[in-house]
Amino acid sequence: MNINNKDSKRIIIALDFPDAESTRKLLRELDPAQCRVKIGKELFTRCGPSLVEEVVKSGFDLFLDLKFHDIPNTVGKAVAAAANLGVWMTNVHAAGGRDMMIAAKAAVDDAQHKPLLIAVTVLTSMSQTDLLDIGITMPPQEQVMRLARLAGQCGMDGVVCSAAETQMLRVSMGGDFVLVTPGIRPAGDAPNDQKRIVTPVDAIRAGSSYLVIGRPVTQAAKPGDKLNEIFMQLHGSFPDLC
């Protein structure tokens, strides 16, 4: 069980909305002392850095989930720009390679405000066949391990991983490596399009540092109440968590 993570605020709400107004409406229901939030490619592409700054200014720790993947110089500059927006965490694709991750890490080191920097290993949407199509003959879990080790060597703070990979990564990468896990569903909730889901309690128990939760909260009739229900479930097993 990973409780070495001293951070008690483990939930990241995915702000998967098409516009700023729906985003603001949800944020009014959330407490920045209790949870963090994530902005991904859709909302960022629609609303841009000004919304990121607005959310950061309103007190939320923000994970800017843009999964940068490009030549080292470009990714370094993109990470520097993300750091400049005041985000709490941002990410790159580990498949961009050693030099790219080192450039990303150097950008964080040089920044005044230093976000956590994590890597995506193998997208959970990729099957073994998909990997073969792009020339990767290793089983997905081995590829995940390989890229997680490389990410660690390049100074990444952690990786995004599926619930199925959490335990293996926690054991091999140690207690301080940040593991961010999507595909979380409170007991009894609909899986939506997620194939392998785990409950918040099981994800923390397997070693996850942060849980990304989207639709169970964002589509709930009362998002604040739904989040409280999740906190209650977590408190039952982990009284120290928010």
User: Active-site positions?
Assistant: 67
Measure the CA–CA gap between 213 and 186, rounded to whole angstroms: 9
- C-beta separation of 89 from 58 below 8 A: no
Q: What is residue 88's three-state secondary structure?
A: coil
Closer by beta carbon to ligand C5P, 76 or else 198? 198
Query: What residues have CB less than 8 Å from 111, skipping those under 6 apart?
Result: 80, 83, 84
**Interface pick for ligand C5P out of 2, 29, 40, 70 (rule CB under 6 A):** 40
- The DSSP secondary-structure symbol of 83 reads H
Which residues within the stretch 160-179 sit at the binding site for ligand C5P (CB under 6 A)? 160
Closer by beta carbon to ligand C5P, 101 or else 118? 118
Residue that the structure tokens 């066949």 belong to = 129
64 is an interface residue for ligand C5P by CB under 6 A: no
**Interface pick for ligand C5P out of 203, 214, 226, 227 (rule CB under 6 A):** 214
Minimum Å gap between C-beta 67 and ligand C5P is 9
Measure the CA–CA gap between 107 and 237, rounded to whole angstroms: 39
Closer by beta carbon to ligand C5P, 37 or else 72? 37
159 is an interface residue for ligand C5P by CB under 6 A: no
Minimum Å gap between C-beta 164 and ligand C5P is 11
Residue that the structure tokens 């990997």 belong to = 131
**Interface pick for ligand C5P out of 23, 90, 121, 124 (rule CB under 6 A):** 124
16 is an interface residue for ligand C5P by CB under 6 A: yes
Measure the CA–CA gap between 56 and 118, rounded to whole angstroms: 19
Minimum Å gap between C-beta 193 and ligand C5P is 7
Q: What is residue 207's three-state secondary structure?
A: coil
Closer by beta carbon to ligand C5P, 182 or else 207? 182
194 is an interface residue for ligand C5P by CB under 6 A: yes
Q: Residue 223: count other Cβ atoms within 10 Å of its Cβ.
A: 19
Cα Rg of the chain (Å, integer): 17
Q: What is residue 149's three-state secondary structure?
A: helix
215 is an interface residue for ligand C5P by CB under 6 A: yes
- C-beta separation of 67 from 40 below 8 A: no
Handedness of CA 217, 221, 223, 225 (dihedral sign): negative
Site string for ligand C5P, 70-109 (x = CB under 6 A): ----------------------------------------
Residue nearest to ligand C5P (CB): 214
Which residues of this protein are in contact with ligand C5P, per CB under 6 A?
A: 14, 16, 40, 123-124, 160, 182-183, 192, 194, 212-215
